Amino acid sequence: MFLSIDKAAEILKKGGIVAIPTETVYGLAGNAFNETAIAKIFAAKGRPYFDPLIVHIAEFSKFEDLVTEIPENAKLLAEKFWPGPLTLVLPKKEKVSNLITGGLSTVAVRMPKKQIARDIIKLAGPLAAPSANMFQRLSPTSVEHVVEQLGGKIDGIVDGGACEVGIESTVVGFENNMPVIYRPGAVTGEMIVECLGVGSWGVGSSKLSSPGLLKKHYCPSTPFFIGLPSEVPKNCGLLAFGELPVKSGEFAEVLNLSEKACSTEAAANLYGMLHKLDSCKLDKFFATLLPPAGLGNAINDRLIKASCR
C-alpha cells in the first residue's frame, strides 16, 4: 500500500492511480494524458464527471503546454505564488482531455511546493489530482485519512506526513482580465490584488463556473452546525478558535483550531480536527466561524460547506 517515490512513478506511468502528499491536502493522482487513469480517479472517488480535476505540474514550461495562452496577470500570479497553493484556470489546449475539465473549455493547473509531489510529477507528470477523499467528504491531510476513505480502492499511497498548509489551493480564473476567485485558499484575495496592482477581485458566481462552488462539500458524517447552541445538548462536540466560549465545559469534546487565534495554524489543523470530531461518536458538533479576513475566509468557506446537509 505504501510506496516509494520511484515505485509510485512507475505505477503512474502505467496508468495506475496513487495518493500523493502535497502541501495543501493529499491528492489522488493519475497521468493527465491517460484517460483510463482519469476515469479510475472518478470511479474511486465516486465523483461525478461534471466536477473537473486540477492538473499538477513541476515546471512552468508544462503550463505553456496545457493552455492556449498565458495572460500577463496569470504570469504575475504564477511567478509570485508558484510553487504553492494556487491553481490557475485558463483556456485549455485541444490535447487536454475533456474528462479532466468536465467538458469545460478551460483547465485548472497548479504547481505544488511539497518536494515529494514535485519529485513524483517530474518523473511521471503532469498529474491530474483531485483531493484524495470520497466525493463530498472531508479532505485528507494525513495518510490515515486517505486509508480510511480510499484504502483498497487505489494502487497505493506515498506517505509524506502531515500537509503543512492543510486547506485546498486557491482556484483563480480571469474574467475580462480581472482575477476571479472560484475557491478561496491560502493565497488570499488581498494577496492577489496586491500582486496584480488591481483594485479588487471577483468571486465565482453561482452559475457553477467552478464546482468548488457546490454548496455541499467537505462533509463529516456526524451532523455539524455553525454557531453555538443556546443550550448545549448531551454528547456533542465543539470546534473552537482562539479563546474558548464560556459554555465550553458543557461539551463532551472540545478541539481548538488555534488557541492563539492564528488562522495559519487553524488551516493546518482544520481537516485533522474535523476528522477527529467525526470519529468521536458524538450526536452532533458545532463550530464558531473565524474573523472573515485573509485565510479566515477560506476556513469559513470550508466550515460552512461542511455544515450543509
Does 24 help bind ligand TXA (rule: CB under 6 A)? Answer: yes
Q: Choose which of 32, 41, 54, 180 interacts with ligand TXA (CB under 6 A).
A: 54
Which residues, 87 to 116, sit near ligand TXA by CB under 6 A?
Answer: 87, 89, 101, 104, 106-108, 110, 112
Please report where in the chains the cell 488581498 appears, as a residue: 190
CA torsion through residues 8, 11, 13, 18, sign: negative
Give me 250's grid cell. Answer: 458543557
Number of residues that bind Mg ion (CB under 5 A): 1
Task: Return the residue nearest ligand TXA (CB atom).
Answer: 212
**Binding partner selected for residue 24 from Mg ion, ligand TXA, none, CB under the kind-specific 5 to 8 Å limit:** ligand TXA
Does 136 help bind ligand TXA (rule: CB under 6 A)? Answer: no
Give me 58's grid cell. Answer: 513541476
Residues in the chain: 309
| CB nearer to ligand TXA: pick between 109 and 273 | 109
| Least separation in angstroms between CB 126 and ligand TXA | 12
Phi-psi region of 77 (alpha: psi -120 to 50; beta: other; left: phi over 0): alpha
Phi and psi for 249 in degrees, rounded to 5? -60, -20
Please report where in the chains the cell 517530474 appears, as a residue: 122
Contact 102, 211 (CB under 8 A): yes
**Binding partner selected for residue 90 from Mg ion, ligand TXA, none, CB under the kind-specific 5 to 8 Å limit:** none
Q: Choose which of 52, 83, 84, 166 interacts with ligand TXA (CB under 6 A).
A: 52
CA distance 134 to 222: 16
Q: List C-alpha distances in Å: 52 to 38, 114, 148, 220, 267.
A: 11, 22, 24, 22, 24
Give me 280's grid cell. Answer: 468521536
Interacting span for Mg ion (CB under 5 A) from 8-16, 83-91, 97-105, 126-134: 126-134
CA distance 252 to 240: 13
Helix (H, G, I), strand (E, B) or coil at 127: strand
| Least separation in angstroms between CB 202 and Mg ion | 22
Where are any strands of DSSP class E within 157-263?
170-175, 178-183, 202-203, 224-226, 236-240, 253-256
Q: Choose which of 24, 131, 169, 188 interacts with Mg ion (CB under 5 A).
A: 131
| CB nearer to ligand TXA: pick between 45 and 286 | 45
Does 25 help bind ligand TXA (rule: CB under 6 A)? Answer: yes
| Least separation in angstroms between CB 24 and ligand TXA | 3
| CB nearer to ligand TXA: pick between 118 and 236 | 118
- Binding mask 201-230 toward ligand TXA (x if CB under 6 A, else -) reads --------xxxx------------------
- For ligand TXA, the binding residues (CB under 6 A) are 22, 24-25, 27, 51-54, 85, 87, 89, 101, 104, 106-108, 110, 112, 129-131, 168-169, 171, 173, 182-183, 209-212
User: What does the binding site for Mg ion look like in residue numbers (CB under 5 A)?
Assistant: 131
